[in-house]
Amino acid sequence: MCSSAPDGSATPTVFIDNPRTRVTEWKFAKRGDATGWHVHEYDYVVVPLFDGFLDIELPNGENIRAELKTGVPYFRETGVEHNVKNGNDFDCAFIEIEFLTPQPKGF
């Protein structure tokens, strides 16, 4: 994703950005802070830095409450479209790792 979407209030900090991988920390200062609507251009992994919830808005109007645990990662493929919001009464953050090159053959 790389940068905050125009309607986002979450704060991205890019730690690594090279031809192969981008690592971004997303910080949400308060409940309701959001990434803004975006479509993921790459496969990615998220590593939560908190125990709590993210509220996910989907294009079809569906809302999902995702429970996250500190350090327990999840993987998503290219093409995911959503708006991610802090569903907690405290600040939270996660690390997003994007794979900028295609998966090697044979995997």
Q: Is the pLDDT of residue 6 over 60?
A: no
* Rounded distance between C-alpha atoms, residue 71 and residue 62, angstroms: 26
| Fold of the domain built from segment(s) 11-99 | Jelly Rolls (2.60.120)
Distance in angstroms (rounded) separating the CA atoms of residues 99 and 79:
13
For residue 7, is pLDDT > 70? no
Q: What is the pLDDT of residues 15-33, one digit of tens each?
A: 999 999 999 999 999 999 9
Confidence of residue 59 (pLDDT cuts 50, 70, 90): very high
**Is the model's pLDDT at 36 over the cut of 70?**
yes
* Statement: residue 4 has pLDDT above 50: no
